[in-house]
Amino acid sequence: MTAVNKVLVIGGGFSGMAAAIQMRRGGIAVDLVEIDPDWCPLGAGITINGATLRALQTLGVYDEFVAQGYVSDGVELYTAQGHKMAELPTPRPVGADVSGGGGIMRPALAAMLARATRAAGVDVRLGCSFSSLEQTDTQVNVDFTDGTRGSYDLVVGADGVHSKLRGLLFPEVKPLEYIGQGVWRAVMPRPEEIVRPRMWFGQHIKLGVNPVSKTHMYMFITEDRPTKEHIDPATWPQVFAGLMQPFTDPLVQALIPHALTPEAAIDYRPLANLLVPAPWNRGRVVMIGDTVAATTPHLASGAGIGIESGIVLGEELARTDDLQTALDGFHARRWERCRMVIQNSERLCRIEIEGGDKEEHARIMRESIIALTQPI
């Protein structure tokens, strides 16, 4: 007994893969189309909180994550000059035997989920997308860019924050607006003393590191920029090294030469967020992950809420033979948690930009971390 028999997932990011794996577990036939022929995201590091580790355990890849990535508990907070201010606990999530947090290179996590997707029996087509969709009362008929056609009981849209599908189904949703802050990231060798995430606080700039393997960590710097200006990628290493300069902690200073090497693979992203009001379906097409709920990274939860949504959608579809009941159950379990992450992350971002109340920042951080440990 499932609400659907055959589903198409559009987009093989973290959210789409999680949905596909969980639906296969419920006995549902799943096709997945991914537009990137190499199925490989950008090579930056990513912070994975305890709740996301719990979701990865549900998907069966936690042990692989521990082997390839890095897990730890707590976050160390420092001044720019290198004085330790505090250690923030990262409570372990309820209902799972996993660490309070971790880090990994994005391609490594994507590759392990891709293997799990294929092992679950999902029919994956790369370099392929939809060209048109037509809904009837009982089916969605899809034309693909490779010239084939298919009919499905449900389509899951997981094609990311710039979703083509969202443009078709939710034309009223406005384009993303730049939030006034950007994030720089770099890959660095891991000094021995970095055994868990560490953050240094400047006046308006925050610098952090998080181990992503036994040998490496990634460094991120959040920078306020009032307008979304183009920064020539050829200048990124110099800009990044310049942003590191005011952090006079010798540990940070010693890493500046590395920032100027190609191995650092500096990346810059202007930040934006998106929260489409629920319901996230139009008939037999439902959207998950960044397509409808994209957050700024202040709670390191974007991938997490997308993966959780994929799992919950799969669970609800396997629990009933009625599609509307399954979709109602999905929205009931996902809306408030996604809203909380996106709006609290935005508040943290605005406090940082305005140089606002550090007490409020710490309180929101604490409350959000605790809320995230709750069962989904």
Ligand X SMILES: Cc1cc2nc3c(=O)[nH]c(=O)nc-3n(C[C@H](O)[C@H](O)[C@H](O)COP(=O)(O)OP(=O)(O)OC[C@H]3O[C@@H](n4cnc5c(N)ncnc54)[C@H](O)[C@@H]3O)c2cc1C
Nearest CA-CA partner of 34 in 134, 137, 110: 110
**HSE, side-chain direction, 13 A CA sphere, residue 21:** 27
Q: How open is the CA angle 7-12-13, to the nearest 5 degrees? A: 130
The piece of 45-53, 135-143, 241-249, 274-282 that touches ligand X (CB under 6 A) is 45-53
Residue list 4-23, contact with ligand X (CB under 6 A)? 10-16
Which of 8, 21, 30, 46 forms a contact with ligand X (CB under 6 A)? 46
Return the number of the residue (53 or 255) whose C-beta is nearest ligand X: 53
Q: Quick one: tokens of 220?
A: 């991120």
As beta bridge partners, residue 336 has: none
Return the number of the residue (75 or 300) whose C-beta is nearest ligand X: 300
Return the number of the residue (9 or 326) whose C-beta is nearest ligand X: 9
Q: Does 180 bind ligand X (CB under 6 A)?
A: no
CB 248 to ligand X: min, Å: 26
Q: Does 34 bind ligand X (CB under 6 A)?
A: yes
Which of 101, 102, 197, 297 forms a contact with ligand X (CB under 6 A)? 297
CB atoms within 10 A of CB 89: 13
- Strand extents, DSSP E, 106-174: 123-126, 130-135, 140-144, 149-152, 154-157
H helical segments located in the chain: 14-25, 50-58, 62-68, 106-119, 164-169, 236-244, 250-253, 256-259, 302-317, 323-354, 358-373
Q: Does 301 bind ligand X (CB under 6 A)?
A: yes
Question: What whole-number distance in Å separates Cα of residue 44 and Cα of residue 102?
Answer: 14
Return the number of the residue (156 or 244) whose C-beta is nearest ligand X: 156
Which of 2, 99, 129, 281 forms a contact with ligand X (CB under 6 A)? 129
As beta bridge partners, residue 10 has: 33, 157
Q: What is the DSSP letter of 304?
A: H
147-176 footprint of ligand X as x/- string (CB under 6 A): -----------xxxx--x------------
CB 191 to ligand X: min, Å: 20
The piece of 68-76, 169-177, 248-256, 293-301 that touches ligand X (CB under 6 A) is 293-301
Nearest CA-CA partner of 198 in 237, 249, 238: 249
The piece of 244-252, 257-265, 302-310, 319-327 that touches ligand X (CB under 6 A) is 302-310
Question: What whole-number distance in Å separates Cα of residue 264 and Cα of residue 281?
Answer: 41
Which of 183, 205, 209, 212 forms a contact with ligand X (CB under 6 A)? 183
Contacting residues toward ligand X, per CB under 6 A: 10-16, 33-36, 46-47, 52, 129, 158-161, 164, 183, 269, 289-290, 297, 300-304, 306
